[in-house]
Chain A
């Protein structure tokens, strides 16, 4: 694992030496996020977001475990117990707002983390497994976020559960049976609420486990970098600690500033007022929308309005799940050997268009289903699939990339108007 010049853990204190012999846990940490992990010297602030996602998960687990001490997962009292957390439990409002906004922060940094991977080609060989595990984490996060949103048992919670479990009824023949099995009833009720609570508590720990695999898989080839060029020698890297622990510290501080702004100044900005009305199975809110982080996928679901061989509803559900499952194939859809979009002038533009396209999908997902919005959603959804299935393979075959630097060090020195590349770098 890692590079031959990585520093070795040498405990100096007798106690640490004793511990290292019995259980080399400090050694593991040292090699994972300490001085024993050499990292490219040229990482920019986009490389903060992995650590930020980890910090967000810790916040969610800590606030979530505490909230579970006050929450009651029963349809008759769940809504009241959340209100009691807000009004009666000491600092309960703070814990709940931190947990609710923490979910948004978690998804936000993960989206940027995914975007970083797309731009700098971090999904390509030899890091395919890192990417695949990342997509698994993303799917687990979506399931966890959805089930967590059901727990307050407000109107949006209830109808969100109704609509999302309704996806499964689109499956031919067995769909309704599966839906009733998932819900434990004919509509969301106590049984569904209880099992969602159980799984919402479980899944974050599963996510933590997959994150360990994600980091493990990352540490075999080592981190990617903004040039996408492989590390060629010791002069291309610096130890993770103290260089990137310090840089990540800056990012964490900014993250907490933004997070605190939401929690203390507009805690309900990203929520829906309807969720402060208790769940009512006999009345649907006029305008059902999911949380912001699901809107692009919701827009893809909504963009199928006519039957074509299969029912429109099944198409919508297939396309929505397909839009995420597609990401599993990304390392093989992009055949360009150049990783970083900085050296791929054509791909770079299409990637910027894709980001814009996802933002359009997000807008359509939250907007009312007028003819204009539906049309816009259909075009944007079609482009999303075209990007991965048509544009990306064609561009990676036809594109003429810009010349790559010979090494990370050469790129860094050139950027700062430094000396000409050294002989070692050229030889590397």
Chain B
């Protein structure tokens, strides 16, 4: 054992130890470091607890859908499904295209032209989600004999939103046009959505 200088006579207490005044003290530093370490750990555990709520891989795997459009005559529409949501594919008649193009775009709640909502050269193919942008009901108008509403497009029975022949919101509480998903024409008769 190394020699330690010890001048205290037997039977007397050593002088009280005064820690040099640092701010923060060593002890504060250790406290802050320990709590921070635990805090980082807690955040690291919360992240997966939050993220588990997001769509799982099998839900995301449904993100593309192929649709055969060869059987849809002008003026007809079909209901398909994309990411478990209804999808409307509509073959517009020249009259419906004319009606959509006659509207003053500036007067719309969500200004878009028909051309912006379709693919070049395929203006008769209106492909939208069948989900009302108000609170998510399925609008009527895609099926045979359903109420197409005052603008000849789609009509949502829940709260009375009316869409025109380009699927644009014209009347009622919905804030936006029917959403157009990403899609491509893989051939003249097949569309890949997603």
Contact = CB atoms under 8 A, between A and B. Distances in A.
A159 B135 CA distance: 10
A299 B134 CA distance: 15
A313 B158 contact: no
Given A163-B135, A184-B59, A305 B173 contact: yes
B136 interface: yes
Contacts of B84: 185-187, 189, 281
A287 B157 contact: yes
Given A184-B56, A286-B157, A307 B109 contact: yes
B173 A166 contact: no
A369 B85 contact: no
Given A288-B158, A313-B175, A281 B86 contact: yes
Contacts of B113: none
B137 interface: yes
Interface string A306-325: 01000111101000000000
A27 interface: no
Interface string B40-59: 00000000000001111001
A246 to B, nearest CB: 48
A321 B174 CA distance: 19
Contact of A316 (B54, B160, B173): B173
Contacts of A304: 173
Interface in B79-130: 79, 81, 83-86, 109, 130
A167 interface: yes
Given A312-B173, A313-B175, A282 B86 contact: yes
A243 B160 CA distance: 55
A284 interface: yes
A281 B85 contact: yes
A394 interface: no
B55 A185 contact: yes
Contact of A180 (B55, B157, B159): B55
A329 interface: no
Nearest to B135: A166
Interface in A266-284: 281-284
B56 to A, nearest CB: 7
Interface in A164-197: 165-167, 169-170, 180-182, 184-187, 189, 191, 195
B163 to A, nearest CB: 14
A74 interface: no
Contacts of B157: 284, 286-287
A186 B173 contact: no
